[in-house]
Amino acid sequence: MYSFQDERQCRIAQFSQYLTVMQERQRQIKKGNSFIIFEEQRDRDSSSGKQLAESKKLTRPLVVHLARRDDGGGSITLGADLVMDQPDDSWRNDNSPSRFIQFSFNSRYFDIDIPNTILYQTEAEQILRCRSGFFYVKECRQFEHPKERVHAFNPVRKIYLYAEERTAAEDMAFVLFDVWKFPVDWRFYVTAKAFKERTKWEVGVLIE
């Protein structure tokens, strides 16, 4: 019988395959970086759409152990403990858009990016507490993207070396299925593009 864990592992393999393909795509573009977005889409036949909600209350400050990689391709080092109490401004509210997870790719590494507008504070706390390597970009500005509005959106981010696509897919599955409580058979859609070139690989394609 096909179990929950079987289905979850199947989804992780799907996510990992997309990330592996994006590594090769990044090599092929001539200028700039690329990204892929995995997103929920609301039921367009419904006036309200399907929404997953959770309390916004922050129960305690965050203590984060960061595994940081310098931007020049150096070795991974363990960063100092950071204690953070995030403000209420800009965090997800009940009228927020659909949930999504974005990965950005450059020539040296790729990263997962989750802006605070789609996270409740308790969800951010759970991610940073339960999955190693995640951090707030405002606290690690060396990993800030060009022209990124960190003060407005202060994403939760994690850096991956190439060949860590499976690890990234497992982190993504944790956010989708353990934090946001999506069923493992939920219909997700993928959009993948280059930032500067007019290259579009997928636009709102259903993951099957």
How many whole angstroms separate alpha carbon 19 and alpha carbon 38?
11
Number of C-alpha atoms within 13 angstroms, CB side, residue 208? 3
What residues of the chain score a pLDDT lower than 70?
A: 1-2, 42-97, 139-154
Q: What is the pLDDT of residue 148?
A: 55
Which two three-digit tokens encode residue 115?
Answer: 């802006």
Q: What is the pLDDT of residue 198?
A: 85
Q: What is the pLDDT of residue 59?
A: 27
Domain ranges of the chain: 4-42+59-206
Residue 136 C-alpha from the chain's centroid: 12
Sequence-ordered list of residues with C-beta below 8 angstroms from that of 179, at least 6 positions apart, any chain: 123, 126, 127
Instruction: Give the pTM.
Output: 0.71
Alpha-helical runs (H) found in 92-164:
121-130, 150-153
- pLDDT tens profile 30-56: 888 999 999 997 444 333 334 333 333
